Structure 1
Amino acid sequence: MAYLVVKWLHVLSSTLLFGTGIGSAFYLLVASLHRDARVVAVVARYVVLADWLFTATTAVFQPLSGFWLVRWAGIPWRGGWVGWSVALYAVAIACWLPVVLLQMRMRGLAAHACAEAIPLPPAYWRAFRLWVALGVPAFLAFLAVFYLMVVKPPL
């Protein structure tokens, strides 16, 4: 019974992690492309909050529950699909951590532009480009992890 509960929580948290990540990225992307500092300031504030409430907590829970499930099931975690999943998860998180810092910087730059009634500054767009550049590999890595978790291919 405990195994099924942890497995359910693992799947649920992966859904929250991926769903919140892609949802908040979509909203910040669309808001940024709108180029209205007022819109970006509001959306960025909520994106940062969502990342701390949902993404950060599930990002910590995922490896803990995953390692518990692998250990309980007696599956070796250093090779095969589990090893690849762990490596790709590490890539995704390594990309996500700077993304959170970039989002906080973007939030501050947008809030300042909004308060001063000026356009988003060049520093915002530099952070935005880096945010996109890190977000794409994180997204692809998470997609690959989902594939490996569902298909469990013999590697």
Structure 2
Amino acid sequence: MDVIVVKFLHVLSSTFLFGTGVGTAFYLLVASRSRNVQVVAAIARYVVVADWIFTATTIVFQPLSGLYLAHRLGYPLSSTWLYWSIVLFVIAALCWLPVVWIQMRLRDMAVEAANRGEELPLRYHGYLGAWAALGVPALISFLVIFYLMVARPA
């Protein structure tokens, strides 16, 4: 496959991955702060769907396309910038795995509360805190990866 096409898809995929993460985090946090159970239930459903459509696919495509590009462009995986990009991507991916499970719990709790006409349960807010806490290292990891990909420091 043409390197330019793969580069384009790699950058596009990283945009989807980062944008989905930031976007879904924003909407779920804002919806949750509203304490409007119907809104939270609707947004939580969409957050889970978006994560499966965009994050799951790009979290697989990114390392495949990145390793392909490194090979084709002659970048050794031992290059400092590439090595740390891989390490940080693994950290972000390891944060994402429990986030998916937490998001599904948040969705289920919100839908159940909405169906019963109740407020969000207290445990919802505990899960939301854990979800947000896992998002911080993932966000920082992706920001540093973007820097490393652009600057390629020695």
TM score, norm. by length of structure 2: 0.98
Give the distance between the partners of 2:55 and 2:122, measured in 1 at CA: 28
Give the distance between the partners of 1:73 and 1:132, measured in 2 at CA: 37
Structure 1: which 5+ runs fail to align? none
Task: Kindly provide the amino acid, as one letter, of the partner of residue 115 in structure 1.
Answer: N
The residue aligned with 2:4 is 4
What is the identity percentage for the equivalent residue pairs of Structure 1 and Structure 2? 56
Cα offsets for 1:92-135 (capped at 9, x unmatched): 11111111110000000000100111110011111101001101
Task: Kindly provide the amino acid, as one letter, of the partner of residue 83 in structure 2.
Answer: G
The residue aligned with 2:133 is 133
Give the distance between the partners of 2:56 and 2:88, measured in 1 at CA: 17
Cα offsets for 1:49-102 (capped at 9, x unmatched): 000011110110000000000011111113410000000000111111111110
The residue aligned with 2:65 is 65
TM score, norm. by length of structure 1: 0.97
The residue aligned with 2:51 is 51
Give the distance between the partners of 1:16 and 1:77, measured in 2 at CA: 24
Q: Pairwise CA RMSD of aligned residues?
A: 0.9
Instruction: Kindly report which structure 2 residues correspond to 1:4-153, keeping only aligned pairs within 5 A, or say none.
Output: 4-153=4-153
Give the distance between the partners of 2:103 and 2:13, measured in 1 at CA: 22
Task: Kindly provide the amino acid, as one letter, of the partner of residue 97 in structure 2.
Answer: L
Which contiguous aligned blocks of 4+ residues in structure 1 show a shift greater than 2 angstroms? none
